[in-house]
Amino acid sequence: MSVFSIPFRLKDNRMDDIWLVDFYAPWCGYCKKLEPVWQEVGAELTRSGSPVRVGKMDATAYSGVASEFGVRGYPTIKMLKGELAYNYKGPRTKDDIIEFANRVAGPAVRSLPSRQMFEHILKRHNVLFVYVGGESPLKEKYIEVASELIVYTYFFYASEEILTESVTLPELPSVLVFKDGTYFTYDEYEDGSLSSWVNRERFQSYMQIDGFTLYELGETGKLVAIAVTDEKDQTEQSVRLKGFVQRVATEHKEQFNRDFQFGHMDGNDYINSLIMGEVSVPNIIILNTSNEQYFLPAEPVENLQQLLYFFNSVLDGSAPAFGGDGIFQRIKRVVYDAKSTIMSVFRSSPVLGCFLFGLPLGVISLMCYGICTAESDDSTDNMEFIKREGLTDEDEEESENEEQHQIKHTGEEEEDENAEETKEKVD
C-alpha cells in the first residue's frame, strides 16, 4: 500500500518517520481531484526507496489533530519531519510534489564536495544558494534560514576551490545565489536580512506567471511586472511586449533586480478579477501585492525606452497608482466577490443557483407579505375601535339599539318567509 490512512495519534508517532500528509475533506472537490495524483506520488516514492511515507487524513473526522497542525483549508499538504512541519504551496502535480518531498526530506544544507558536482548542480537547478567559507556567524544564520525556506529552494555549502573561475567573491565568507545564467552575492548593508534576501531571490528573474505563482511572488516584497498576452493568439504586439520585459529582466538586472520580478501571463481573466477591472490584451501591468495597487502605462509601449521610463516612473512615484487597500476598495472587493460567486454558481448549475438564492428570497417575500397583512388587519380593528371611541354614551346606546333592531327585523323577515313556504307546501 503506497498511501496510508494516518493513525489518530500521528503527532505522537511521527518522530520516527518522515511523513508527507494530505489533510482532506470528503466533500471537497479539489481534494477529489488530488486523489489520483496523491496515489501516484505514494507509488513513486515507494519505488524509489525514499524514506518519506505518504499518507492522508480526513481533517473533518480528526479535526483536533488537523487544528494542531494549523490546517485551515482543504486540501493541505504538509511534510512532517521531527519537530518541524513544512507546508507545501507548489503546483499539485506529481513531479512537483515528489521534488518537494525529496528536497525537504534531506538535509537543509547539502555539501558540494567537488567542482564536477557543482557544475552538475548548476545544470540541474534553475535557482540555488551556496555558502562559501568556513565556520562563522554568517554560516549559522545561513543554516537557520535554510531550515526555514527549504520548502522553496536548495541550499548548499562549498569551499572556494570548487567554484568555477568565472565566480569571483568580494570576501569570505559569502552567500551567493545562482540563477538566470549568472550569480548575485548577498550584501547585508544593501539587501537587509539574509532571510528577506533569500525570499526575494528564490525565483528566476523572468518566468511564466499564473494565479498561484503570483501569490507566491507576493511574499517576496517585489513589484511584479507582467506582460499580459494571449498565448493562443500570438500577435506581433504580444511578442514585442514579452521581448521587452525579458530584455529588462536580463539587460537591466543591476538596475531593477532588487525591486522587480518579471514575467508574462496568459490571458487577462485572473488579472481582471484581481484589480476588479478590465486590462486589454496585450498589455503591461505592474502589481504591488503588498497594498493591492497596480500601475498601467499611460500610452501603448512601442519601444524599450518607453518601458524603461514606465518602470522608473513607478519607482520614483510619478506614475499614477490605481486600486489599493482603502476602505472603499475593501467594500468594492466584498461586492465584487459576492457577485462573482453568484454568477459562477448560476453558470455551473442554474438549478442549484435558483434553489440557493430563490428559496431565501421566497421565504423573505412570504414573511414580508405576512407582516403587511397582519398590519392591515390590525389597522381595520383599530379604525373600528377609534370610531367607537368617538361616540358619546347616547350615540353608542342608539347605535346598539339600531343593531338590535336590525337583528330583530331580520329574524321577523326570516320567520315570515318560513311561514309562507310552509303554507305553500300545505296547499
**Identified catalytic residue from 28, 354, 368, 372:** 28
Sign of CA dihedral 327, 333, 336, 337: negative
Contact 221, 200 (CB under 8 A): yes
Task: Report yes or no: 264 and 226 within 8 Å, Cβ to Cβ.
Answer: yes
Closest to 297 in 3D by CA, of 313, 281, 273: 313
- Give whole-number Cα distances, 200 to 124, 249, 385, in Å: 21, 15, 79
* 368 carries an active-site annotation: no
- Name the residue with cell 568556513: 134
Nearest CA to 310 out of 288, 290, 284, 289 is that of 284
The distance in angstroms from the start CA to the end CA of the chain is 104
Measured at the CA of 81, the angle between CA 75 and CA 84, to 5 degrees, comes to 85
Q: Which of 31, 354, 368, 372 is catalytic?
A: 31
Query: Counting beta carbons within 10 angstroms of the beta carbon of residue 242, is it exposed (0 to 12), middle (13 to 18) or buried (19 or more)?
Result: buried
Catalytic residues: 28, 31
